[in-house]
Amino acid sequence: MIKSKNQYINREISWLMFNDRVLQESADKNVPLIERLRFLGIFSNNLDEFFKVRYATIKRIVLAGKKGKSALGGEKAKDLLAEITKIVIDQQSKSLEIHDDIESELESEGIFFINETEVSDSQAEFVKNYFIEKVSPQLMTIVLNDLNQFPLLKDTEAYLAVKMILKETEKDQKDKGIVENRYALIEIPKGVDRFVVLPREGDKNYIIILDDLIRYCLARIFPMFDYVAISAHMIKITRDAELDIDNDLSKTFIEKISSSVQGRKISDPVRFVYDKSLAIDTLEFLKGKMGIEDTDSVIITPLPVKGLSLEGSLLERIAERDYLMYAPYHTFSYIIKFLREAALDPKVKSIKITVYRLAKNSQVAASLINAVKNGKKVTMQIELRARFDEQANINYAEELQAEGVKLVFGVPGLKVHSKICVIEREEGDSIKRYGFISTGNFNESTAKIYTDYTLFTANEAILKEVKIVFDFFETTYKIYKYKHLVVSPHYTKSLFKKLIDNEIQSAILGRDAYIKIKMNSFTSYEMVDKLYEASRAGVKIQLIIRGVCCLIPGVEGMSENIEAISIVDKFLEHPRVFIFGNDGDPKIFISSADWMTRNLDNRVEVGCPIYDDDIKQELIDTFEISWNDNVKARIFNGEQDNVYKKNEQPKLRSQFAIYEYYLNKINSKKLEV
């Protein structure tokens, strides 16, 4: 085994390079202007989450006086923090340049962003009235100087830090003109549109950002202070979002998670973002009050599935054959239809489902409640530790439990990340099972923007094992054996290693050996080493990794037979697909698991083999379309420079091409199977 300093890419740095690919989308002049603005927002939100979780974890290691080299891929935690900070500062600087460029292009389209100093006389009345009617009633404003305790700033909320230079008081005059500053905070309200459209002037459209509108009206907020100058600058903090779970045995699991989520509100800040023109004295005042050290600063219309109508019975069609739904190219309505039909069908006796993230107004939850009201036994495994959705899941758990849904809260020490559902239906003298297994959440909101596969099946061998997974949730001390499903934490890693070994043997024997994998993230050094071993044996490996990738492709003697790309485009690439050549008879799996240590060893994940030949071909086809992307694909390499994949082939933007692929399937005149 080759061991060298450059054997792996650090996962945090790789993640920042993924976010850089998002930033590239916002800079791409071929992307519509509104989409470019959206990518800028995604970049910013991603960065918030990174600091909440990954940066916070590394900082904990530093504060604990540990080096953390083994956990951080051989890099010292303190050095890694410095490297992250430099990258983030460069990226944020780049994002500001992109924002300015977008504004310039909008101006060429007759759309102008103005700030508080550019409001014209004809716009002034509108701005003042808008402030009085819409903004002022929602403002939370706090004067800071005389407070004994600094107010608790909300995580990732935007504030305006206000500085007022007061006129000299009588005492000041006696003290030779000492001037007193007053400081205040204004929480930018979420209930008001961030972009305020002003009345048109001729053929020009004007927009003012809410922050600037508030700045324009500062005199209306602070009329009680006699100041000679006033200014306001945006600030924001990001807090440590890791959950510290209480070990109090007297508390229920829901109480522990609730308490931990509440604890996030007062957790330590890990990033302090502020306007670069914020006055030094204001900055020092705020940092002193908050206890922050310097080291802390830093649409496509969904298609139907061919042959699977939303009219009539889904269960009847699924009984005949398997179907694959690929959202958002296919409509998510099939999952809702499946659950609604199961809720009403008198022959359906039970429904079991896992839930990781639900939509705000979830039709999935409503369907399950409907099923209970129709006398079905409904069991839901709900993951209360789904990051950033803990409170929402607690609320749903309480609502569903009150309606009669049996809740299972998973396995001690293991997060449940699997995406499975099985129903039992009486047919004659026996029980027939129907179900679906997915790579993504059962969430109708994210299904519009995340790409994910869902297999609908009545395969008894597969669904019997899905039921066994639910048995494991309730009898966690018993480890079950699976002949079909690929289940973490007990079997995923070992099975995929065997499949890789099989390809290695094929390559040694001179046969065609290949592995094609599409995942979100790839950070397990153990699996990286296994692919390095396969590469050295001559196995051809293609990887499509959206986010973090710790493997370095194309290194002679280590990974010369491995190529890897990342695709960042309109939709978030979310599916996990594994294709093994198997000497001409490909073995193909979809899964909820990435190849990360947490997914392989510390979570309950479910992968499913694909047995239907047509669906196998469909997964191969869509993988190949993604692999041939030469518009939105970036190449992974040791330099991590996110260079675009370019070639002499006709331009192929895979997400659009996949939509065309499914559109052609629907329009084809082939007979239904």
376 plus 440 within the same structural domain: yes
**pLDDT score recorded for residue 389:** 56
**pLDDT score recorded for residue 672:** 40
281 plus 334 within the same structural domain: no
Residue, of 660 and 191, whose pLDDT is higher: 660
286 plus 140 within the same structural domain: yes
Pick the closest to residue 163 from 316, 14, 20, 274 (CA basis).
274
Compute how many other C-beta atoms are within 10 angstroms of the C-beta atom of residue 593.
28
Residue range(s) defining the domain that contains residue 70: 1-109
CB of 135 closer than 8 Å to CB of 213: yes
CB of 535 closer than 8 Å to CB of 7: no
Instruction: Give just the sign of the alpha carbon dihedral 267, 273, 279, 284.
Output: positive
622 is written with which tokens? 């869509």
pLDDT tens track for 525-565: 999 999 999 999 999 999 999 999 999 999 999 999 999 99
CB of 632 closer than 8 Å to CB of 655: yes
18 plus 165 within the same structural domain: no
Residue, of 231 and 388, whose pLDDT is higher: 231
123 plus 271 within the same structural domain: yes
Say yes or no to pLDDT of 324 above 90: yes
Q: For residue 481, tell me if it sits in a domain.
A: no
Q: For residue 406, tell me if it sits in a domain.
A: yes
Q: For residue 306, tell me if it sits in a domain.
A: no
206 plus 98 within the same structural domain: no
- Rounded CA gap, 594 and 575, in Å? 9
**pLDDT score recorded for residue 410:** 67
Q: For residue 308, tell me if it sits in a domain.
A: no
Compute how many other C-beta atoms are within 10 angstroms of the C-beta atom of residue 157.
13
Say yes or no to pLDDT of 524 above 90: yes
205 plus 320 within the same structural domain: no
pLDDT tens track for 635-668: 999 888 999 999 999 999 999 999 999 988 887 6
Selecting among 99, 417, 490, 574, the annotated active-site residue is: 417
58, 93, 109 - which closes a domain? 109
The percentage of the chain sitting over the pLDDT mark of 90, rounded to a whole number, equals 52
Say yes or no to pLDDT of 452 above 70: yes
pLDDT tier for residue 257 given thresholds of 50, 70 and 90: very low
pLDDT tier for residue 617 given thresholds of 50, 70 and 90: very high
417 included as an active-site residue:
yes
244 plus 329 within the same structural domain: no
**pLDDT score recorded for residue 323:** 98
Query: For the residues 314-330, what does the mean pLDDT come to?
Result: 97
Angle between helices 33-50 and 77-108 (to 10 degrees): 160
Compute how many other C-beta atoms are within 10 angstroms of the C-beta atom of residue 346.
10
474, 504, 520 - which closes a domain? 474
Query: For the residues 170-184, what does the mean pLDDT come to?
Result: 62
pLDDT tier for residue 194 given thresholds of 50, 70 and 90: confident
Q: For residue 673, tell me if it sits in a domain.
A: no
> What is the DSSP secondary-structure string of 59-125?
HHHHHTT---TTTTTT--HHHHHHHHHHHHHHHHHHHHHHHHHHHHHHHHTTEEEE-TTS--HHHHH
227 is written with which tokens? 């100041």
Helices marked H in 348-459 — which ranges? 363-373, 390-403
**pLDDT score recorded for residue 502:** 97
What's the start-to-end Cα distance of the chain, in Å? Answer: 49
**pLDDT score recorded for residue 670:** 42
Q: For residue 305, tell me if it sits in a domain.
A: no
Highest averaged pLDDT of the listed ranges 63-72, 73-82, 169-178, 214-223:
214-223
Say yes or no to pLDDT of 190 above 70: yes
Give the CATH number for residue 163: 3.30.1840.10
Q: For residue 469, tell me if it sits in a domain.
A: yes
Give the CATH number for residue 648: 3.30.870.10
72 plus 90 within the same structural domain: yes
Helices marked H in 271-311 — which ranges? 280-290
**Average pLDDT of the chain?**
85
What is this structure's pTM?
0.71
The percentage of the chain sitting over the pLDDT mark of 70, rounded to a whole number, equals 85
Highest averaged pLDDT of the listed ranges 150-154, 325-329, 412-416:
325-329
Query: For the residues 217-240, what does the mean pLDDT come to?
Result: 86
pLDDT tier for residue 3 given thresholds of 50, 70 and 90: very low
Could you give the number of structural domains in the chain? 4
545 plus 637 within the same structural domain: yes
**pLDDT score recorded for residue 582:** 97
Q: 597: which DSSP letter?
A: H
Peptide bond into 328 cis (omega under 30): yes
Residue, of 364 and 279, whose pLDDT is higher: 364
313 is written with which tokens? 């019975």
pLDDT tier for residue 99 given thresholds of 50, 70 and 90: confident
268, 298, 328 - which closes a domain? 298
CB of 235 closer than 8 Å to CB of 286: yes
Give the CATH number for residue 20: 1.20.58.310
pLDDT tier for residue 193 given thresholds of 50, 70 and 90: confident
**pLDDT score recorded for residue 531:** 98
* Location of structure tokens 């670069």: 276
Compute how many other C-beta atoms are within 10 angstroms of the C-beta atom of residue 454.
26
414 plus 321 within the same structural domain: yes
pLDDT tens track for 556-609: 999 999 999 999 998 999 999 999 999 999 999 999 999 999 999 999 999 999
- Rounded CA gap, 570 and 655, in Å? 8
Pick the closest to residue 377 from 412, 342, 409, 410 (CA basis).
342
458 plus 558 within the same structural domain: no
Residues contacting residue 298 through CB under 8 Å, at least 6 positions apart: 51, 85, 88, 89, 271, 272, 273
Q: For residue 496, tell me if it sits in a domain.
A: yes
